[in-house]
């Protein structure tokens, strides 16, 4: 229930509906009847967090357990936070309205480095000590998982344990162990020692890190029987894996307000800049039947008017055409539209597009990433200009007039020729529209967006220096000058944000102090341009004797020990190194469907075979 204090405040804040819960599909249990109260925290606003499929899956999974009540917690926007602090209202679970400090396990999902400060802020606002060492009891155990857990080190001061890899199974192991620990009344430390024995669980306090003179990691030592290397967990069979039959349906607008079903995990492509492409391996797919079944159930129980089939590379789903047909047979009579994100330009077929657009027509997006074939080969984005133009031709002939192209600036080995290439492609796409459209009067909207490349841990580019702020800004200025084609709108992202993301992405545990200091000085919602304070962050690093450039813009030697080397993402470091070497010769590596590149992740399977 909402407290009277909160009700007094809600009329004064923006979009109060996101703070009240009670949506269709949200789960309420009797708190006296459950053993474990789990707070599933997303360190961003409701609209962003509710759009995240993984969180929806785990919310359903945990609440499916009889003894567990999982609630949702999001970061309140600054206007509400101000009122909450003034009125002494603690951050609360949306289902019960109870303070965060009343929960047994507090779990954060780590999607983005620039949401880390929000984790500290949410704990604090919820009345939970921010530093792990100040939480002495088993209660308020703070755990985390998600993509950024592949380098958990910057968060070691705050998080008691990390779950690496797929959450569906390890989450239940954790909850079971917690139950036992409560029954046996063991200490938090004893619990953590035992938890470290579960595959996929990383307990940072059980590892000592030594550094070299130059600030790089010398070695990491595991204590108290914790594994030397924490290998990630995977769910082997997606067909039998838990999938929610209902979704929480927000009563207010969110970013991706639709039903979603996952097609497969892992990506066969191996783009060298992409962390997900390397950390979600090995490839596992859901059968067409399972997908259809799950899609129907979720649509029926949610009432959603749109469903997306999600994956890292949808066109690589082997039965996509048949699946789309069956989906449309179901969706069309019910006025449900189907969206297929992550389609690749090269396999884009006119037929598929026409079928999908029958119910509702949305824009087309192509991730070209780089402006020349040479650079696309460096990053192993195996897509050619002809692919893009061929797809555009079909699209424009089919009456589409809205195309988005994505690029990155600052990729390794980039030269001004590559930047010119971006503007060339855009010109060609604009020309392609002119000669292919059958309705010039309607006009066309071509949007080119350029983000700044951030080298990520556990990718072949983890050794590479990120361009400095000055270099990135220089490239952006140059782009603005050359992107002058009619009908092409050019968007760019703030380079400072990417630099900060780059600093933390490959950080070590010493960064905890800087993150703490930055948060104390008011940093939060750093992913939101209007609130991001770059200078404050840089100052916090300096005040902790840490050099941001050491983390972001330093080229690492191939034999350097990384702070995240003891965290296994499935793909081996050896493979990543090989890929880095190939990238310097602009040598492409074929996708898994053509030839296994030997990334090593198949060893996580019982049989050792990827399903491609």
Partner 1 sequence: MFKARMRFSKTGRAKYISHLDLMHTMQRAMARCNMPIWFTEGFNQHAYVSVALPLSTGYSGEYEFLDFNFLTETVPENAVKMINSVFPEGLYAQEIYALSDGGMKIANIAWSRYKITWGFDGEIPQDFIKDANELFAKDDIQILKRSKRGEKMVNMKELMKTPEITQKDGVVVCNVVTGAGNKNMSPEYLTKAIKEYLPQYNITDEAYHRLCVYTDDMVEFR
Dihedral-angle region of residue 252 (phi above 0 means left; psi in -120 to 50 means alpha; beta otherwise): beta
Residues binding ligand SF4: number (CB under 6 A): 14
**Rule CB under 8 A: is residue 333 a binding residue for partner 1?**
no
**Per CB under 6 A, 338 contacts ligand SF4:** no
DSSP secondary structure string, 451-462? EEP---TTSGGG
Task: Please give the order of strands across the beta sheet that includes 105-109.
Answer: 68-74, 36-42, 105-109, 141-145, 161-163, 201-202
Select from partner 1, ligand SF4, none the partner in contact with residue 283, using the beta carbon and a kind-dependent cut-off of 5 to 8 Å. ligand SF4
The interface region with ligand SF4, picked from 367-375, 477-485, 518-526, 596-604 by CB under 6 A, is 596-604
Distance (Å, whole) CA 156 – CA 162: 9
C-beta atoms surrounding 269 within 10 Å: 21
Could you tell me if 604 and 268 are in contact, meaning their C-beta atoms sit under 8 angstroms apart?
no
d(CA 196, CA 239): 28
Crossing angle, helix 534-543 and helix 495-505, to 10 degrees? Answer: 30
Which residues between 258 and 277 bind ligand SF4 (CB under 6 A)?
Answer: 266, 268
Q: Which does 20 bind (CB under 5 to 8 A by kind): ligand SF4, partner 1, none?
A: partner 1
The residue (of 244 and 266) whose beta carbon lies closer to ligand SF4 is 266
When binding is defined by CB under 6 A, the residue of 283, 336, 367, 514 that contacts ligand SF4 is 283
The interface partner of residue 304, options being ligand SF4, partner 1, none and the CB cut-off 5 to 8 Å by kind, is partner 1
In angstroms, rounded to a whole number, what is the distance separating the alpha carbons of residues 202 and 216? 21
Cβ nearer to partner 1, comparing 253 with 545: 253
Question: Is 23 a binder of partner 1 (CB under 8 A)?
Answer: yes
From the list partner 1, ligand SF4, none, partner contacted by residue 10 (C-beta under 5 to 8 A by kind): partner 1
Q: Which of the ranges 171-179, 280-288, 413-421, 452-460 carries the binding residues for ligand SF4, by CB under 6 A?
A: 280-288
Of these partners, partner 1, ligand SF4, none, which one is at the site of residue 360 (CB under 5 to 8 Å by kind)? partner 1
Instruction: Check binding of 360 to partner 1 (CB under 8 A).
Output: yes
Q: Which is nearer to ligand SF4, 324 or 601 (CB)?
A: 601
Residue of 101, 199, 301, 436 that binds partner 1 (CB under 8 A): 301
Residues 369-406 as b/e (b if ≥16 CB within 10 A, e otherwise) read: bbbbbebbbbbbbbbebebbbebbbbbbebebbebbbe
Short-list 214, 272, 155, 271, CA closest to 556: 214
Angle at Cα 470 formed by Cα 468 and Cα 471, nearest 5°?
65
Stretch that binds partner 1, among 147-155, 300-308, 402-410, 565-573 (CB under 8 A): 300-308
Phi, psi of 490 (to 5 degrees): -105, 125
Q: Which does 586 bind (CB under 5 to 8 A by kind): ligand SF4, partner 1, none?
A: none
Residue 359 touches which of ligand SF4, partner 1, none (CB < 5 to 8 A by kind)? partner 1
Among residues 74 and 461, whose Cβ is nearest to partner 1? 74
User: Which residue number, 101 or 301, has a Cβ lying nearer to partner 1?
Assistant: 301
Q: Least separation, in Å, of the C-beta of 63 and partner 1?
A: 16
Q: Does 65 bind ligand SF4 (CB under 6 A)?
A: no
Q: Using CA atoms, how far apart are residues 120 and 113, in angstroms rounded to an integer?
A: 13
Please report the DSSP string for 76-123 in residue order.
Answer: PPHHHHHHHHHHTPPPB-TTT--BGGG-SEEEEE---GGGHHHHHHHH
Partnered with residue 182 across adjacent β-strands are none
Task: Give the chain's count of helices (H) and strands (E).
Answer: 20, 19
Sign of CA dihedral 260, 262, 266, 269: negative
Select the binding partner of residue 254 from partner 1, ligand SF4, none (C-beta < 5 to 8 A, by kind): none
121 binds, among ligand SF4, partner 1, none (CB under 5 to 8 A by kind): none
Torsion angle defined by CA atoms of residues 474, 476, 481 and 482, in that order, rounded to the nearest 10 degrees: 110
260's contact among partner 1, ligand SF4, none, with CB below 5 to 8 A by partner kind, is none
Tokens of 472: 């990135």
221 binding partner 1? (CB under 8 A): no
In the list 145, 282, 410, 512, the residue contacting ligand SF4 (rule: CB under 6 A) is: 282
Q: Which is nearer to ligand SF4, 279 or 372 (CB)?
A: 279
Q: Which sign, positive or negative, has the C-alpha torsion 155, 158, 161, 163?
A: negative
Q: Of the candidates 602, 604, 606, 607, which one interacts with ligand SF4 according to CB under 6 A? A: 602
Tell the smallest beta-carbon distance from residue 33 to partner 1 (Å). Answer: 19
Q: Which is nearer to partner 1, 299 or 500 (CB)?
A: 299
**Among the candidate windows 57-65, 243-251, 278-286, 419-427, which touches ligand SF4 by CB under 6 A?**
278-286
What pairs with residue 217 in β-bridges?
211
State the sign of the Cα–Cα–Cα–Cα dihedral 529, 534, 540, 545: positive
Scanning 61-69, 146-154, 252-260, 419-427 for contacts with partner 1 by CB under 8 A, the matching segment is 252-260
Closest approach, Cβ 596 to ligand SF4, in A, equals 3
Q: Does 231 bind ligand SF4 (CB under 6 A)?
A: no
Candidates 180, 212, 251, 415: give the one binding partner 1 (CB under 8 A): 251
Q: Which is nearer to ligand SF4, 147 or 548 (CB)?
A: 147
Check binding of 596 to ligand SF4 (CB under 6 A): yes
CA quadruple 149, 150, 151, 154: dihedral, nearest 10:
0
Which one of the spans 249-257, 261-269, 433-441, 527-535 is the region binding partner 1 (CB under 8 A)?
Answer: 249-257
Which stretch, 72-80, 300-308, 397-405, 595-603, contacts ligand SF4 (CB under 6 A)?
Answer: 595-603
Q: Which stretch binds ligand SF4 (CB under 6 A): 64-72, 243-251, 281-289, 457-465?
A: 281-289
Burial level of 198, CB count in 10 A (0-12/13-18/19+)?
Answer: buried
For the bound state, the minimum distance from the C-beta of residue 304 to partner 1, rounded and expressed in Å, comes to 7
d(CA 224, CA 362): 55
Q: With contact defined as beta carbons under 8 Å apart, do 187 and 139 qualify?
A: no
Instruction: State yes or no: residue 76 binds ligand SF4 (CB under 6 A).
Output: no
Q: How many whole angstroms separate alpha carbon 212 and alpha carbon 132?
A: 26
Q: At a CB cut-off of 8 Å and minimum separation 6, what does 607 contact?
A: none
Q: In terms of Cα–Cα distance, which of 364, 515, 382 is closest to 429?
A: 364
Positions that interact with partner 1 (CB under 8 A): 2, 4, 7-8, 10-11, 16-17, 19-24, 26, 249, 251-253, 257, 300-305, 334-335, 359-361
Positions that interact with ligand SF4 (CB under 6 A): 266, 268, 281-283, 592, 596-599, 601-602, 610, 612
């Amino acid at each position: 229930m909402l407290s009277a204090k909160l009700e007094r405040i809600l009329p004064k804040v923006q979009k109060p509906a996101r703070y009240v819960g009670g949506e269709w599909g949200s789960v309420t249990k009797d708190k006296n009847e459950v053993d474990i109260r789990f707070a599933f925290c997303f360190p961003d606003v409701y609209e962003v967090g509710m759009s995240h499929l993984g969180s929806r899956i785990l919310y359903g999974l945990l609440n499916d357990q009889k003894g567990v009540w999982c609630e949702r917690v999001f970061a309140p926007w600054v206007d509400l936070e101000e009122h909450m602090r003034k009125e002494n209202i603690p951050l609360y679970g949306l289902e019960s309205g109870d303070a965060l400090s009343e929960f047994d396990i507090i779990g954060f999902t780590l999607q983005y480095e620039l949401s880390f400060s929000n984790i500290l802020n949410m704990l604090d606002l919820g009345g939970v000590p921010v530093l792990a060492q100040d939480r002495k009891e088993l209660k308020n155990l703070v755990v985390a998982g998600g993509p950024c857990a592949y380098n958990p080190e910057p968060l070691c001061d705050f998080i008691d344990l990390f779950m690496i890899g797929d959450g569906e199974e390890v989450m239940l192991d954790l909850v079971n162990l917690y139950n036992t620990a409560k029954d046996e009344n063991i200490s938090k430390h004893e619990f953590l020692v035992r938890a470290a024995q579960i595959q996929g669980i990383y307990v940072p306090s059980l590892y000592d890190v030594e550094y070299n003179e130059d600030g790089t990691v010398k070695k990491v030592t595991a204590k108290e029987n914790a594994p030397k290397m924490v290998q990630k967990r995977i769910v082997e069979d997606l067909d039998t894996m838990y999938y929610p039959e209902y979704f929480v349906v927000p009563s207010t607008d969110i970013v991706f307000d639709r039903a979603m079903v996952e097609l497969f995990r892992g990506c066969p492509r191996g783009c060298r800049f992409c962390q997900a492409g390397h950390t979600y391996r090995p490839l596992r797919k859901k059968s067409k039947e399972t997908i259809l079944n799950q899609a129907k159930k979720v649509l029926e129980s949610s009432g959603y008017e749109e469903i997306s089939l999600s994956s890292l590379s949808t066109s690589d789903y082997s039965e996509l055409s048949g699946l789309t047909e069956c989906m449309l047979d179901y969706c069309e009579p019910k006025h449900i539209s189907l969206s297929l994100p992550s389609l690749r330009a090269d396999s884009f077929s006119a037929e598929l597009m026409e079928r999908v657009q029958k119910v509702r027509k949305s824009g087309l997006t192509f991730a070209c990433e780089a402006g020349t074939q040479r650079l696309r080969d460096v990053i192993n984005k195996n897509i050619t200009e002809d692919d893009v133009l061929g797809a555009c031709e079909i699209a424009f002939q089919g009456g589409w007039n809205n195309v988005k192209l994505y690029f990155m600036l600052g990729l390794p080995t980039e030269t001004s020729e590559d930047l010119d290439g971006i503007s060339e492609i855009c010109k060609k796409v604009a020309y392609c529209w002119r000669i292919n459209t059958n309705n010039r009067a309607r006009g066309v909207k071509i949007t080119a967006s350029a983000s700044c490349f951030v080298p990520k841990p556990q990718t072949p580019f983890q050794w590479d220096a990120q361009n400095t702020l000055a270099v990135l800004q220089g490239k952006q200025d140059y782009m603005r000058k050359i992107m002058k084609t009619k009908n092409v709108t050019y968007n760019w992202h703030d380079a400072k944000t990417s630099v900060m993301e780059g600093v933390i992405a490959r950080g070590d545990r010493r960064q905890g102090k800087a993150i703490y200091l930055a948060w104390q000085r008011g940093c939060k919602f750093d992913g939101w341009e209007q609130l991001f304070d770059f200078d404050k962050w840089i100052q916090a690093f300096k005040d902790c004797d840490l050099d941001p450039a050491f983390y972001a813009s330093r080229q690492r030697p191939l034999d350097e020990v990384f702070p995240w080397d003891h965290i296994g993402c499935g793909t081996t470091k050896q493979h990543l190194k090989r890929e880095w070497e190939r990238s310097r010769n602009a040598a492409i590596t074929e996708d898994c469907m053509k030839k296994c590149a030997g990334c090593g992740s198949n060893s996580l399977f019982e049989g050792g075979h990827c399903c491609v």
